[in-house]
Amino acid sequence: MAMMTMTRAMMNTTTSKFSNIKKPENQYPNPYIQHTRSRNSLIVTNSHEPNHNLAQSLVHGFNPNIPIQEALTPPSSWYTSPSFLSLEYDQVFFKGWQAVGCTEIVKEANSFFTGRLGNVEYVVCRDENGQLRAFHNVCRHHASLLAFGSGKGSCFVCPYHGWTYGFNGALLKATRITGIRNFNVKEFGLVPLRVAIWGPFILLNIERQAFAQQHGDDDVGMEWLGSTSDILSTNGVDTSLSYLCRREYTIECNWKVFCDNYLDGGYHVPFAHKDLASGLKLDSYSTTVFEKVSIQRCDGGEVQHQEDFDRLGAKSLYAFIYPNFMVNRYGPWMDTNLVLPLGPRKCKVIFDYFLDASLKDDEAFVSKSLEDSERVQMEDIMLCESVQRGLESPAYDSGRYAPVVEKAMHHFHCLLHEDLIK
């Protein structure tokens, strides 16, 4: 009896000792995903909805109905509030098509790449029959991630308990389940995501309410790009270029700061990118706004001598595809910029580079071009991180637009407002 009393006392002491320890906060404050099983389908729903009241009140700090000549920019809280980012995930990123990569990465059977958007872990793969597929990158046993990075293989094997899945998502093997009851292997495959291709780009549709079985999406170009689908195709945004490489940057700023910087109509170029500016005719810069795409164009500068280095070519096109994807087509090059939130004050930008196949083996040209591009990115990172620090200051709330050049930025903010008030 004395031993039992002492044991209970020790248990109570242990419980008291750890009762005040707080669980770490989720870096991505979004609703959890709850998997519920039925015999015929798998439905993915929110297990609970976040309280978006505060964030929705911040949305009204911007008025899209005021013309750009009189409008204020969105308040700094749009760029600093964790609850606002949570609302953006639910209303912007988890609805509609999102670019996640390029087809070149998974051009071969049994190849794959992984990614994360908010708290959604995904894997994109090409099965042994050549069909492109996408799934939540989560084991159905005890929720471990299955795959990491990119590569090739014959199947996905969970590193935790060895459950094995085919590239078609089917559960091939569940280890050590002797004695389990009411278990149907066919009902425990990977949870699918809608996936589609436009040109060289892979798109995912991460809907929160329900996931139907994967199917073709013939109208993805119109749905994603609207009337600009043909414009981009006829301006060299296609599969004719060769994929070259990827570079990634982690930036200490809100994801929208990077987008705003891209959308200022070349306003900052002569001040922050002097080398880049020397290769452009900035007085030719123009911006055209479409449904969910804005296109900026600029002529290249004159090449004085034939042997002079020229990566920009005669014309440049910069397309922003709402909400977070940019396509830059210039000379023999195309690069894409995918901006992913990592928190209210941090983002990751993924650059994929494509090049005319005839120049792919010109090491000097490729090296110099990537070096010049890297310099521009470093200059932009410095600008964006400086802006984020300013947005945190009590001295700043909202700013103004330069109406002639910042039309695309204003359009971006209006599209965000439209999605966030739904």
Lookup: tokens for 172? 């091939």
Q: What's the mean pLDDT in 34-41?
A: 39
pTM of the model as a whole: 0.85
Structure confidence by residue, pLDDT tens digits, 187-198: 999 999 999 999
Dihedral (C-alpha) 83, 84, 85, 87: value to the nearest 10 degrees? 90
Among 237-251, 267-281, 393-407, 408-422, the range scoring the smallest mean pLDDT is: 267-281
Nearest CA-CA partner of 52 in 29, 21, 75, 24: 29
C-alpha 350 chain-centroid distance: 8
Distance CA 41, CA 44 (A): 10
Domain ranges of the chain: 25-59+76-225, 231-420
Q: What's the mean pLDDT in 233-241?
A: 91
Question: What does the DSSP assignment read for 61-115?
Answer: TS-TTS-TTTPBPPPGGGGT-HHHHHHHIIIIITSSEEEEEEGGGG-STTEEEEE
* pLDDT for position 33: 34
Question: Considering the domain 231-420 in this protein, what is its CATH number?
Answer: 3.90.380.10
* pLDDT for position 260: 99
Q: Tell me the pLDDT band of 49, cut-offs 50, 70 and 90.
A: low
Place of tokens 């922003």: 320
E strands, 190-292, in order: 194-198, 201-205, 242-251, 280-289
Q: Is 383 helix (H, G, I), strand (E, B) or coil?
A: helix
Among 80-84, 307-311, 367-371, the range scoring the smallest mean pLDDT is: 307-311
Question: Considering the domain 25-59+76-225 in this protein, what is its CATH number?
Answer: 2.102.10.10
Q: Which residues contact 233 (CB under 8 A, 6 or more apart)?
A: 199
Peptide bond before 24: cis, by omega within 30 degrees of 0? no
The strand order across the sheet containing 346-355 reads 242-251, 346-355, 333-343, 325-330, 315-321, 293-300, 280-289
Lookup: tokens for 119? 């708290």
Summarize the chain as % helix, strand, coil (round to 5). Answer: 30, 30, 40
Name the amino acid, one letter, at 103. T
Distance CA 103, CA 101 (A): 7
Structure confidence by residue, pLDDT tens digits, 273-296: 988 888 888 889 999 999 999 999
Whether 31 and 50 have beta carbons less than 8 Å apart is answered as yes
**Do 231-420 and 25-59+76-225 fall under one CATH topology?**
no
Q: Are strands 201-205 and 42-46 parallel, antiparallel or unpaired?
A: unpaired
* pLDDT for position 252: 99
